[in-house]
Amino acid sequence: MPRTGDPKVRVTRSARRKKTVAARWDGDVVEILAPAHMPERELQDVIDKLTSRLTKKRARKAGLSDDDLARRAQRLNREYFEGRLRFESIRFVTNQNQRFGSCTPAHGTIRLSERLRRYPEWVLDYVVVHELAHLIHPNHAPDFWEVVNRYPLTERARGFLIAVSLVEDEVDSVGEEGAPEDTG
Ligand SMILES: [Zn+2]
Protein backbone atom coordinates (compact mmCIF):
# COMPACT_ATOMS: atom_id res chain seq x y z
CA MET A 1 0.00 0.00 0.00
CA PRO A 2 1.70 3.24 -1.06
CA ARG A 3 1.85 5.97 1.57
CA THR A 4 2.03 9.67 0.93
CA GLY A 5 5.63 10.62 0.45
CA ASP A 6 6.52 7.34 -1.19
CA PRO A 7 8.42 7.81 -4.42
CA LYS A 8 6.91 7.08 -7.80
CA VAL A 9 7.65 3.62 -9.09
CA ARG A 10 8.09 2.56 -12.70
CA VAL A 11 8.01 -1.14 -13.46
CA THR A 12 9.67 -2.62 -16.50
CA ARG A 13 9.14 -6.30 -17.11
CA SER A 14 11.75 -8.12 -19.06
CA ALA A 15 11.67 -11.60 -20.53
CA ARG A 16 15.39 -11.79 -20.04
CA ARG A 17 15.15 -11.47 -16.28
CA LYS A 18 14.53 -14.90 -14.79
CA LYS A 19 14.07 -14.60 -11.04
CA THR A 20 15.41 -11.48 -9.44
CA VAL A 21 13.94 -8.03 -9.25
CA ALA A 22 16.27 -5.04 -9.46
CA ALA A 23 15.59 -1.52 -8.27
CA ARG A 24 17.45 1.73 -8.83
CA TRP A 25 16.86 5.46 -8.74
CA ASP A 26 16.08 7.28 -11.95
CA GLY A 27 15.98 10.82 -10.60
CA ASP A 28 13.16 10.73 -8.05
CA VAL A 29 11.52 7.69 -9.58
CA VAL A 30 12.27 4.15 -8.48
CA GLU A 31 12.83 2.05 -11.54
CA ILE A 32 11.97 -1.61 -11.09
CA LEU A 33 13.23 -4.30 -13.44
CA ALA A 34 11.15 -7.41 -13.00
CA PRO A 35 10.91 -10.85 -14.60
CA ALA A 36 8.17 -11.03 -17.18
CA HIS A 37 6.26 -13.82 -15.50
CA MET A 38 6.41 -12.90 -11.84
CA PRO A 39 2.87 -12.77 -10.38
CA GLU A 40 1.64 -9.24 -9.67
CA ARG A 41 1.09 -9.76 -5.96
CA GLU A 42 4.48 -11.31 -5.38
CA LEU A 43 6.10 -8.51 -7.33
CA GLN A 44 4.29 -5.86 -5.30
CA ASP A 45 5.77 -7.21 -2.06
CA VAL A 46 9.26 -7.11 -3.52
CA ILE A 47 8.70 -3.59 -4.87
CA ASP A 48 7.56 -2.36 -1.45
CA LYS A 49 10.61 -3.84 0.20
CA LEU A 50 13.11 -2.53 -2.35
CA THR A 51 11.53 0.92 -2.50
CA SER A 52 11.61 1.30 1.26
CA ARG A 53 15.23 0.18 1.32
CA LEU A 54 16.23 2.67 -1.40
CA THR A 55 14.36 5.51 0.29
CA LYS A 56 15.98 4.86 3.66
CA LYS A 57 19.40 4.63 2.09
CA ARG A 58 18.92 7.93 0.31
CA ALA A 59 17.69 9.65 3.48
CA ARG A 60 20.69 8.35 5.42
CA LYS A 61 23.05 9.65 2.78
CA ALA A 62 21.46 13.09 2.76
CA GLY A 63 21.61 13.43 6.55
CA LEU A 64 19.17 15.75 8.27
CA SER A 65 16.70 17.43 5.98
CA ASP A 66 15.60 21.05 6.26
CA ASP A 67 12.32 19.77 7.70
CA ASP A 68 14.21 17.86 10.40
CA LEU A 69 16.16 21.02 11.09
CA ALA A 70 13.02 23.13 11.40
CA ARG A 71 11.50 20.61 13.83
CA ARG A 72 14.70 20.65 15.88
CA ALA A 73 14.71 24.43 15.97
CA GLN A 74 11.12 24.46 17.23
CA ARG A 75 11.99 21.96 19.94
CA LEU A 76 14.96 24.06 21.04
CA ASN A 77 12.76 27.14 20.91
CA ARG A 78 10.38 25.46 23.37
CA GLU A 79 13.18 24.13 25.54
CA TYR A 80 15.32 27.25 25.89
CA PHE A 81 13.12 30.18 24.81
CA GLU A 82 9.72 29.14 26.16
CA GLY A 83 8.61 28.78 22.56
CA ARG A 84 8.27 32.51 22.12
CA LEU A 85 10.74 33.03 19.25
CA ARG A 86 9.32 33.60 15.79
CA PHE A 87 11.39 33.03 12.70
CA GLU A 88 10.69 32.85 9.02
CA SER A 89 12.96 30.04 7.92
CA ILE A 90 15.88 27.91 8.95
CA ARG A 91 17.79 25.75 6.50
CA PHE A 92 21.10 24.30 5.47
CA VAL A 93 23.14 26.03 2.79
CA THR A 94 26.17 24.87 0.87
CA ASN A 95 27.81 28.24 0.31
CA GLN A 96 28.77 28.85 3.91
CA ASN A 97 32.23 27.43 4.28
CA GLN A 98 33.86 29.99 6.50
CA ARG A 99 31.08 30.13 9.04
CA PHE A 100 28.80 27.58 10.62
CA GLY A 101 25.75 29.73 10.84
CA SER A 102 24.22 33.08 10.18
CA CYS A 103 21.15 34.91 11.34
CA THR A 104 19.39 37.85 9.76
CA PRO A 105 17.13 39.01 12.61
CA ALA A 106 15.36 41.61 10.45
CA HIS A 107 14.09 38.85 8.16
CA GLY A 108 13.95 36.07 10.74
CA THR A 109 16.11 33.86 8.56
CA ILE A 110 18.71 31.43 9.82
CA ARG A 111 21.20 29.62 7.62
CA LEU A 112 23.46 26.81 8.70
CA SER A 113 26.43 25.34 6.93
CA GLU A 114 25.61 21.88 5.68
CA ARG A 115 28.87 20.75 7.25
CA LEU A 116 26.94 20.66 10.52
CA ARG A 117 25.01 17.67 9.22
CA ARG A 118 28.12 15.60 9.71
CA TYR A 119 28.81 16.76 13.25
CA PRO A 120 27.28 15.34 16.42
CA GLU A 121 23.72 16.47 17.06
CA TRP A 122 24.62 18.26 20.27
CA VAL A 123 26.96 20.49 18.22
CA LEU A 124 24.23 21.22 15.70
CA ASP A 125 21.86 22.02 18.57
CA TYR A 126 24.35 24.48 19.98
CA VAL A 127 24.61 26.34 16.67
CA VAL A 128 20.81 26.42 16.36
CA VAL A 129 20.46 27.82 19.90
CA HIS A 130 23.20 30.34 19.13
CA GLU A 131 21.44 31.57 15.98
CA LEU A 132 18.04 31.58 17.69
CA ALA A 133 19.49 33.73 20.46
CA HIS A 134 20.50 36.29 17.82
CA LEU A 135 16.80 36.87 17.18
CA ILE A 136 16.80 38.47 20.64
CA HIS A 137 20.35 39.82 20.77
CA PRO A 138 21.87 40.65 17.37
CA ASN A 139 25.39 40.74 18.82
CA HIS A 140 27.77 38.75 21.01
CA ALA A 141 27.40 40.85 24.14
CA PRO A 142 27.27 39.26 27.63
CA ASP A 143 23.43 39.28 27.53
CA PHE A 144 23.61 37.17 24.40
CA TRP A 145 25.90 34.59 25.99
CA GLU A 146 23.71 34.45 29.06
CA VAL A 147 20.90 33.23 26.83
CA VAL A 148 23.06 30.81 24.85
CA ASN A 149 24.55 29.33 27.99
CA ARG A 150 21.15 27.97 28.95
CA TYR A 151 22.12 25.25 26.53
CA PRO A 152 24.28 23.08 28.80
CA LEU A 153 26.76 21.88 26.16
CA THR A 154 27.62 25.34 24.89
CA GLU A 155 31.24 25.37 26.04
CA ARG A 156 31.89 21.87 24.77
CA ALA A 157 30.33 22.62 21.40
CA ARG A 158 32.31 25.84 21.02
CA GLY A 159 35.46 23.88 21.69
CA PHE A 160 34.45 21.29 19.13
CA LEU A 161 33.80 23.92 16.46
CA ILE A 162 37.02 25.76 17.13
CA ALA A 163 38.86 22.46 16.82
CA VAL A 164 37.32 21.62 13.44
CA SER A 165 37.47 25.14 12.15
CA LEU A 166 40.36 26.47 10.15
CA VAL A 167 39.52 29.96 11.22
CA GLU A 168 40.07 30.63 14.85
CA ASP A 169 37.66 33.44 15.46
CA GLU A 170 33.91 33.36 15.82
CA VAL A 171 31.91 30.99 13.78
CA ASP A 172 28.95 32.95 12.56
CA SER A 173 27.61 36.29 11.49
CA VAL A 174 24.63 38.41 12.34
CA GLY A 175 23.20 41.18 10.23
CA GLU A 176 22.42 41.58 6.59
CA GLU A 177 22.75 38.48 4.52
CA GLY A 178 26.00 38.39 2.62
CA ALA A 179 27.50 41.10 4.79
CA PRO A 180 29.23 39.26 7.59
CA GLU A 181 29.98 41.26 10.67
CA ASP A 182 33.15 41.00 12.60
CA THR A 183 31.78 38.79 15.31
CA GLY A 184 34.96 38.05 17.28
ZN1 LIG B 1 26.78 34.62 16.74
> Going from the N-terminus, what domains does the chain have, and what CATH number goes with each?
8-62 (no CATH), 66-174 (3.30.2010.10)
Chain Cα centroid distance, residue 119: 11
Distance 140 CA to ligand 1 centre (A): 6
pLDDT greater than 70 at residue 183? no
- How many whole angstroms separate alpha carbon 15 and alpha carbon 44? 18
Distance 155 CA to ligand 1 centre (A): 14
pLDDT at res. 173:
64
Contact 32, 7 (CB under 8 A): no
Distance 172 CA to ligand 1 centre (A): 5
pLDDT at res. 77:
98
What CA–CA distances, in Å, run from 107 to 43, 135, 174? Answer: 50, 10, 11
| Model-wide pTM > 0.85 | no
